[in-house]
């Protein structure tokens, strides 16, 4: 099924990138019927009613189906120095069905900025390619301390670091509503781990091997999803 992304289904205009893909690349014409999604699991049938130089107007005909997210998993992670590795991670996390991704910078972070627009495009592309109709919310980067001060209501809260002993797979009790924090390649400081514990995060290990940040993010989320 070919999907086109329109975040606000009440809008009758395809976003610029979707317009290019639909009209310029795939050569759809007026009166063609296409499938659109809002990235929240809803898939609709829509008719192309007008095409101009830089705009495609559609009319939603009917709802095709609603895909429900089985688990609410929020990954909080320090960005890697390589942006290509972050893009790869976003692509894979979208494919496996993560609900939210937040970026934080901590004491040992090498990078404190992200290109949110590029990451959004990578996520949209992965969602459409996998026909999932579910796109994770991707948040702008903030400091680790500021993130901890948010009111985070999850059944299970984990922080991974190299000194932790108990494995993630042995720590999960619920799995349907979880948040997990992955630090930079230099790991979290003792103070940061202490602060996380004050905010009710359980420290966990991802195994004996030292994993790259993006690998740790993907493995941890995959473990929780398949609990």
Please tell me the predicted confidence (pLDDT) of residue 132: 87
Domains and CATH numbers, the chain: 3-66 (2.40.240.20), 72-225 (3.40.1280.10)
pLDDT, tens digit (0-9, with 9 covering 90-100), for 58-78: 999 999 999 998 899 999 999
pLDDT, tens digit (0-9, with 9 covering 90-100), for 88-122: 999 999 999 999 999 999 998 988 899 999 999 99
pTM over 0.85: yes
Angle at CA 21, nearest 5°, toward 19 and 24?
80
Please tell me the predicted confidence (pLDDT) of residue 203: 94
Please tell me the predicted confidence (pLDDT) of residue 110: 84
Instruction: List b or e across 36-71, with b for residues whose CB sees 16 or more CB atoms inside 10 angstroms.
Output: bbbbeebbbebebeebeeeebbbeeeeeeeeeeeeb
Q: How does residue 185 score in pLDDT terms, banded at 50, 70 and 90?
A: confident
Angle at CA 51, nearest 5°, toward 45 and 55?
90
Please tell me the predicted confidence (pLDDT) of residue 35: 96
Q: Which residue has the tokens 């606000």?
A: 8
pLDDT, tens digit (0-9, with 9 covering 90-100), for 108-165: 898 889 999 999 999 999 999 998 899 999 999 999 999 999 878 899 999 999 889 9
């Amino acid at each position: 099924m070919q999907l086109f992304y329109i975040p606000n289904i009440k809008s009758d205009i395809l976003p610029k990138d979707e317009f290019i893909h639909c009209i310029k690349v795939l050569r759809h014409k007026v009166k063609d019927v296409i499938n659109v999604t809002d990235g929240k699991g809803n898939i609709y049938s829509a008719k192309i009613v007008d095409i101009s130089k830089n705009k495609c107007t559609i009319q939603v005909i009917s709802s095709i189906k609603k895909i429900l997210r089985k688990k609410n998993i929020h990954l909080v992670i320090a960005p890697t120095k390589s942006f290509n590795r972050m893009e790869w991670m976003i692509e894979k996390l979208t494919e496996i069905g993560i609900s939210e991704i937040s970026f934080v910078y901590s004491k040992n972070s090498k990078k404190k900025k992200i290109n949110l627009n590029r990451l959004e495009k990578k996520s949209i592309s992965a969602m459409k390619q996998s026909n999932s109709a579910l796109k994770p919310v991707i948040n702008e980067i903030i400091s680790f301390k500021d993130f901890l001060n948010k009111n985070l209501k999850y059944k299970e809260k984990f922080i991974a670091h190299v000194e932790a002993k108990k494995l993630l797979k042995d720590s999960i009790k619920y799995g349907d509503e979880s948040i997990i924090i992955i630090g930079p390649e230099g790991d979290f400081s003792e103070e940061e781990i202490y602060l996380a514990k004050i905010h009710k995060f359980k420290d966990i290990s991802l195994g004996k091997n030292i994993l790259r940040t993006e690998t740790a993010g993907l493995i941890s989320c995959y473990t929780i999803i398949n609990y």
